[in-house]
Amino acid sequence: MKERFLVTGGNPLHGAVRVVGAKNSVLKLMAAALLAEGTTTLNNCPEILDVPLMRSVLEGLGCAVEIDGSVVRITTPAQISSLADFDAVRQFRASVCVLGPLTARCGEAKVALPGGDAIGNRPLDMHQSGLEKLGATTHIEHGAVVARAEKLTGAKINLDFPSVGATENILTAAVLADGTTTLDNAAREPEIVDLCEMLNQMGAKISGAGTSTLVIEGVDKLEPTEHTVVGDRIVAGTWAYAAAMTQGDVTVGGIAPRHLHLALSKLKTAGANVETYESGFRVRMDGRAKAVDYQTLPFPGFPTDLQPMAIALNAVAEGTSVITENVFESRFRFVDEMLRLGADATVDGHHVVLRGVEQLSSTEVWSSDIRAGAGLVLAGLVADGDTVVHDVAHIDRGYPHFVEDLTSLGASISRVS
């Protein structure tokens, strides 16, 4: 049976919560384990639905995958399949990150065009173009992207946009290519840095992680390793905005505050008191937030994955704000559900104008993606009664122990079948 969340508004959040490894990192690290024969161990993994989905993809390629709580062990054989299982791949977007490792290890790859959240068009043209510059041929065939290469050779590659997915696939192919690859306008997200660190532990030679230029000197072989997944900045940001919305006081651990610098700075502008520590931060809001303008951009800009939380906060803030979405064109589907809750919002292209109301009005709403679902729950926390959030399987794909963490902070939320 489909599950839903029952959220009763009115409780400020107080207390402490700790985030674990990032969804946007662990799946790519699991795929990178394909690059080395033997057992790779990942620690601090989130217990979310996408991890067993990625296990299915890897098992279909010939790996043995063991999930033991927050530890994932992947044993990659000497010979792996180049055909990624269609049923598993089509369930979530991150599965496309096996394209680069398979092309590098097998000389060919056939990966079903992936599914995932309904937040806009996410083509693979930059993935394909990057692999082609490394010497591969690529095409779309029967609903799958196909890449073949007798030999990958280092090249100079410039991305039109700092795509996280394209950066990851080019990076994981180039580490086993002959010669040196220079990747300009590369993504700079902390999850990219995490992937580079693990690859270097495996014997890769990558420099420039965290900058817009990555230099990859190809090596003949990689070795398995043990690695701890970087903390999830999006989950941490969700709790930060929940604290501000509910006029609460929440301390979040397990995250480097620099990974959320702009998001936390925006909360300060909105009136929150923000304290940062080496591996965490505290957000306290006394009184109603002030409206703040946002625009989403690749890191170090404001994350598109936190845009629903910014909308939810501004929906109950004092004043008028404009939020601009520059990454995914369909992310404002979330606004339709906020209107159900009584938000005063107007969408104009890739902008939404919000005029803050003092309180939202509870009703039934539907999640369209992971972050929209979380944003709707946050909105329910400041509504005037019982809000029912449907299609919560989306939320479970990105937030481990979502209900338990919110309950520990004093929220009134339960999972209902």
Known binding positions: 23-24, 93, 305, 327
Q: How many CA atoms lie within 13 A of 103 on its CB side?
A: 34
Which class for 73: exposed (0-12), middle (13-18), buried (19 or more C-beta within 10 A)?
A: middle
Q: Which residues lie across from 184 on neighbouring strands?
A: 158, 213
Phi/psi at 321 (5° precision): -135, 160
What is the three-class DSSP state of 238?
helix
Range 181-192 burial, b when 16+ CB lie within 10 A, else e: bbbebbbbbbbb
Task: Confirm if 257 and 276 have CB atoms less than 8 A apart.
Answer: yes
What is the three-class DSSP state of 348?
strand
3-state helix, strand, coil in the chain (%, to 5): 35, 30, 40
Task: Confirm if 341 and 361 have CB atoms less than 8 A apart.
Answer: yes
Task: Confirm if 135 and 98 have CB atoms less than 8 A apart.
Answer: no
Task: Confirm if 86 and 112 have CB atoms less than 8 A apart.
Answer: yes
Whole-angstrom distance, CA of residue 29 vs CA of residue 71: 13
> What length is written for the chain?
417
E-state strands within 185-225: 205-207, 213-217
Can you say which residues are annotated as belonging to the binding site for UDP-N-acetyl-alpha-D-glucosamine? 93, 305, 327
Q: Which residues lie across from 404 on neighbouring strands?
A: none
Phi/psi at 135 (5° precision): 110, 0
Q: How far is CA 156 from CA 35, 153, 172, in A?
A: 22, 10, 15
Cβ atoms < 10 Å from Cβ of 78: 8
Catalytic residue of the set 50, 87, 117, 249? 117
| 249 noted as active-site residue | no
Q: In what order do the strands lie in the sheet with 249-253?
A: 14-18, 249-253, 280-284, 273-277
Can you say which residues are annotated as belonging to the binding site for phosphoenolpyruvate? 23-24
- Active site amino acids: 117
